[in-house]
Amino acid sequence: MTESLRRSGEYENPYQGDQQHAQHASSPVNPEWPPPPAYQPQQSEQPEPVTVPVTVAAPPAPPKKRTRGPLALLAAVAIVAAAVGGGTAYGIQELTGSDTVTSSSTSTSVVPSSKKGDIAAIASAVSPSIVEISAASNAGESTGSGVIITGDGEIVTNNHVVSGASSIKVTTSDGKEYTARVVGTDSAKDLALIKLENASGLKTATLGNSADVNVGDTVVAIGSPEGLTGTVTSGIVSALDRDVTVSTDESQGQRQQQQGGGWPFEFGGQQFNGDTGLSTTTYKALQTDASLNPGNSGGALIDMNGNIIGINSAMYSAASSSSDAGSVGLGFAIPVDTVKSDLAKLRAGSQS
């Protein structure tokens, strides 16, 4: 009983004086009891839980499968096309085939930006893509020009340059000669597509956008007048959408070429370079005062970015013979947009 009270007092009042503490210490204690603590144990405060934000890394996305084949190429080109503009749309269509035609809007520069408008730089950049064409037929021989549009030797020229030809020889700007064959013709637009044999790695021209051409724009013409390969002249666009009528009669045109040195055509109700005959066709053309002479037919009309905007097709010469022929500042070119829209038909082998 005494021990029970003693221990109760110890727990109830642990802060008594030293004397009482000493008395308790001298009192007998059951050895099985644990010694009393010197003071009341305090309740330990539990620390408040701290919330630590944990960032769980998202599992890595599975690698995307690489799309292969022409669809991937079209997707990549479509992005570029959206950034560049409408002039590249034709390039997208042609990229699905084995032959690639370089096409761009007039905002794309073939020459360095620092050389934009520099005629010498334009001539240097584009001349390797312009060729001289010599066509032989029963009526004789004729000389014209052409524009390389694929590295393996597709060339756009005028129909009247190769019409009725039994053999075609092509000379590139570096003097190399090739044999060519006619792939397709369109006499209604005075266009033809020929293909070189065993050609590769040729420098191609860039087809621009003739819809962006304005009257007064400076232009460069490159061709082979009178067999003078790579002749460069310059001028401006004098007018747009001129109605030019040319002969579709092979023999008629070739006879006039032999006599007067130029392909006959009609403009403004007048006939030039002889009689066009009864079989004719009319197309819309760009008019230019850049010097064009016999042999420039099928050559390139080029803007200040170095893009092809037209295929030279008709020029007026007041002379009665080719030896006296000379430019009088009245030349016409088929808009390059017409060429682009007709190319699939020509490639398909049209002989219209």
pLDDT tens for residues 71-94?
Answer: 444 444 333 333 333 333 333 233
Contacts made by residues 109-114, CB under 8 angstroms, sequence distance 24+:
109/305, 109/306, 110/206, 110/305, 110/306, 110/307, 111/305, 111/306
Q: List the one residue out of 125, 123, 246, 122 whose CA is nearest residue 192.
A: 246
Core vs surface per residue 222-241: b (16+ CB within 10 A) or e: bbbbeeebbbbbbbebbeee
Domains, the chain, ordered by start: 69-98 (no CATH), 123-352 (2.40.10.120)
pTM: 0.67
Question: Amino acid letter at 198?
Answer: N
> 125, 277 in Cβ contact below 8 A?
no
3-state class of 346 per DSSP?
helix
Q: Give the H/E segment covering residue 210.
A: none
241 is catalytic: no
Query: Which residue out of 104, 173, 187, 190 is catalytically annotated?
Result: 190
DSSP 133: E
CA distance 300 to 141: 21
Beta carbons within 8 Å of 57's beta carbon, 6+ residues apart: none
> Beta-carbon neighbour count of residue 55 at 10 Å?
5
Strand partners, 207: 103, 308
| pLDDT of the residue at 273 | 59
18 is catalytic: no
Query: Which residue out of 105, 297, 313, 327 is catalytically annotated?
Result: 297
Residue-level pLDDT, tens digit, the chain, 352 residues? 444 444 444 444 454 444 444 444 444 555 555 555 555 555 555 555 555 555 555 555 555 555 455 444 444 433 333 333 333 333 323 333 346 677 655 457 888 888 999 999 999 999 999 999 999 988 788 889 999 999 999 999 999 899 889 999 999 999 999 999 999 999 899 999 999 999 999 999 999 999 999 999 999 999 998 788 899 999 999 999 999 887 766 555 455 455 445 656 666 666 665 666 677 788 899 999 999 888 899 999 999 999 999 999 988 766 555 445 556 788 999 999 999 999 999 999 988 8
190 is catalytic: yes
Query: Which residue out of 103, 134, 160, 291 is catalytically annotated?
Result: 160
pLDDT digits (tens, 9 = 90+) for 175-220: 999 999 999 999 899 999 999 999 999 999 999 999 999 999 999 9
